[in-house]
Structure 1
Amino acid sequence: MVSSSDVRRLFLQAVISRRVLSYKLANVIWRKCIDAVKVPREDDRTAWDSFTGKVNESLNPLDLEFRHLHDELTGREMYALVNRKGDEVAQFATDYTPAEIAYFKAIVEQIMLAPHESFSVSSLAALREVNFLKTNMSKTQAEVVLGSFVANGWLLKSQRGRYSLSTRSLLELLPYLKSTYPDEVIECTICLEILTRGVSCHTRNCKVRLHEHCFNNYKRIHSTCPSCNESWTNSSKKLVPVGEGAVKDGQDFNRRVRKKQTDEGSEGEEEEDDDDELEESQEPSQAKGKKGKAKAKTNGRSRKSEEEAENSGADDGMDVDEDEVPKRSQRKSRR
């Protein structure tokens, strides 16, 4: 005797063979499973939502979920069978090595911490992450692994050569992203789903963020911001892009790191990358150059004129750092 559980079992068998599928395809599979089992069929959305709810009840003991999310580029509703736990046991189910998983997490971190809410990272910055991992992975190997991340639907690569999170990553990594990057994860004001590409209100400090498809639906009825009520049609200011369009080439040259909780409960920064060390190593030479210019400009001056210039806080023709002024006065007081 057939039952609705047979429909769910047959449906899951069909879904497991696919990575991510659209609502349209998932609905077709569902109806075919109903026809195969020969139970009464209901085609409305309410029946579908009830069916997926029962599917997730069956998956709960396995820490699996049939999760849905709208594609940020097309607006299509997408579904995937995802693992709700990211422990070591779950990682055994992947074809990637621990080193490759660590590399993927490092790229995800740079995407989530990208400046200006760009949520993307350049190819150069992605390859540079290999230098900060305790692995023997070469940059040539990293290029191959990056290609597999794109081929398997974990990352998207744009024409500009920038990497961003795919719908599959957003579906499967949503709990991880929210727990690891709570301050960086933003949600669409309309659909309340995670947002890594779209538009934001041009008003300063306004928190409104919209997917492109949500914005297109919203502006058909409304012409003002849903939060600050600023006009989006008559204003000369354009909406600010969120995602790759928010960053210019070279703006993510400096590597960013996530703040970690220390044992005492306070936040501490991880070590910065070699770019910052390079900048620090350049500072002494720059300071030395400034001192050389200062000596050249003070040649021929008397001791008295030098002291007058020191008291005034600046030499003629020099830009003085305000932080150096108290230091000079302290040196003078010691004389």
Structure 2
Amino acid sequence: MSYTEPTDLHRVYIQCLLSRRAMTEDVALEMYKRAISACQALNADFHPAHPRTAAGFKSFLDEIGHMLEEVGMNVREGREEIGKGRQWIVLCNTDPSDVALSATDLTPLEITFYREMIAEIMESYPANSIGHNRAIALVNRLDGSLTRSAAEAVLRALVSRGWLAKSNRGRYSLAPRAMLELENYLRGEYDGLHNCGRCKKLMLTGVACTNPKCNTHIHGFCHEALLRTRPQCPACKIPFAEQAPRPIGEASVRREEDGYVRDVKNKRKRVPRAEGDVGHSGSESEHSSPQQPESPQHDETQTQTQTQQELSESREGTEEVSTESQIPSGRKRKEPRKSGTWATQSPAGKGRMSRVPETQYDEDV
């Protein structure tokens, strides 16, 4: 593509992208039309090079993308995997060393919290999503002091800014902005990621072929398109009517599991064992060596202590009881983690509640 000299229209729209970062396609097209009107209001002789149609807007975005390449940014398009399946326009930072801090005023501790959210979501395959309680419980993994109320505010901010998507069931998954801007990070950090068998793009929610020799993954909207045209797996060609695909995403787990919490800091600690004891600490094992019976007084005291501990854990809602966690995971984090990709906790070890907008399209940069 030949070089295009930037005009006032390009400058106005780039400012719009910088302020919003992620927009649905219809909103982005409307902002393009308003930018043209604004330029014409200042200069009656201004005429855009492209029409105000969807095709003209596409050509205009291509020009914007080429202009931003030299500053380490580009414009990407993608479709949301949950909800209405809308097309999104996202301004992405292509510099991996700055990917976590691009256009955000989150503190290092809050960014670490989001990193833990990503890890939990990516390692929850085939659910590829986590419930609200499980998300809040991640604050127990942080070394700094991020309260649960602050975590609630951060989650709302991440949803508002397009980093996370929240379904009607209240489960969190990666939103289009995260999947487009963090795609290189995700592919470099986690094994077993799947591309859609139809559109070849990264896929986290949809269906998977149940043929043991195939296991092709397909977006939900791509699956619907195949049902209308060629209702068969694009890889092994087995008709969906003969072998129905299995769900990938939140549809793969029961609603009862949405409130489960696992892998929390407050789980029951190991009980020290006396020298020579055999078996797992804190619990009896089938292969444990016989133990001497405890006196009634000692047994009653131990029972009261365990009851109080279980009651305390129940009140905090941090039970380590999760059927979802028993689902075999087909995705694991690569080792070692790439250094420099994400910011770490500040030396003070303290986080603050970010002052963030509550709307999806308004964002201070």
TM-score by length of 2: 0.64
- Aligned-partner residue type, residue 88 of structure 2: M
The answer on 1:10 being equivalent to 2:40 is no
Q: Secondary structure at the match of 1:285?
A: coil
Q: Which has the higher helix share?
A: 1
The answer on 1:196 being equivalent to 2:198 is no
Aligned counterparts of 1:77 and 1:127: Cα–Cα separation in 2: 29
The answer on 1:240 being equivalent to 2:246 is yes
The answer on 1:228 being equivalent to 2:208 is no
Over 3 Å counting, the alpha-carbon distance change for 1:219 and 1:287 in structure 2 is same
Which segments of 5 or more consecutive residues in structure 1 lack a partner in the other structure?
A: 256-271, 293-335
Matched-pair identity in %: 27
For 2:72, the equivalent position in structure 1 comes to 63
Over 3 Å counting, the alpha-carbon distance change for 1:90 and 1:246 in structure 2 is closer
Over 3 Å counting, the alpha-carbon distance change for 1:180 and 1:39 in structure 2 is same
> Is the Cα contact below 8 Å between 2:80 and 2:176 reproduced in 1?
yes
Q: How far off is 1:70 after superposition?
A: 1.1
- Aligned-partner residue type, residue 284 of structure 2: S
For 2:43, the equivalent position in structure 1 comes to none
Over 3 Å counting, the alpha-carbon distance change for 1:274 and 1:39 in structure 2 is closer
Over 3 Å counting, the alpha-carbon distance change for 1:21 and 1:289 in structure 2 is same
> Is the Cα contact below 8 Å between 2:206 and 2:217 reproduced in 1?
yes
Q: Secondary structure at the match of 2:284?
A: helix
Partner deviation per Cα, 1:217-253 (whole Å, 9 max, x = no partner): 11111122111121212x2x53211111112344975
Q: From the CA coordinates, give the structure whose radius of gyration is larger.
A: 1
Q: Secondary structure at the match of 1:143?
A: helix
Over 3 Å counting, the alpha-carbon distance change for 1:206 and 1:7 in structure 2 is same
Q: Secondary structure at the match of 1:21?
A: strand
Q: How far off is 1:101 after superposition?
A: 0.3
For 1:83, the equivalent position in structure 2 comes to 93
TM-score by length of 1: 0.69
User: Which of 183, 200, 212 is the matching residue for 1:174?
Assistant: 183
Partner deviation per Cα, 1:165-223 (whole Å, 9 max, x = no partner): 11222232222212212x24222111222211111112124232222211111111112
Aligned counterparts of 1:232 and 1:90: Cα–Cα separation in 2: 40
Aligned counterparts of 2:236 and 2:267: Cα–Cα separation in 1: 40
Q: How far off is 1:147 after superposition?
A: 3.0
Alignment of 1:1-335 (within 5 A): 5-34=7-36, 36=40, 37-42=46-51, 47-73=56-82, 74-87=84-97, 91=101, 93-115=103-125, 117-181=126-190, 183-233=191-241, 235=242, 237-248=243-254, 249-250=256-257, 254-255=262-263, 281=280, 284-287=283-286
Aligned counterparts of 2:132 and 2:50: Cα–Cα separation in 1: 49
Q: Secondary structure at the match of 2:7?
A: helix
Aligned counterparts of 2:180 and 2:136: Cα–Cα separation in 1: 25
Q: Secondary structure at the match of 1:39?
A: coil
Q: How far off is 1:89 after superposition?
A: 8.9
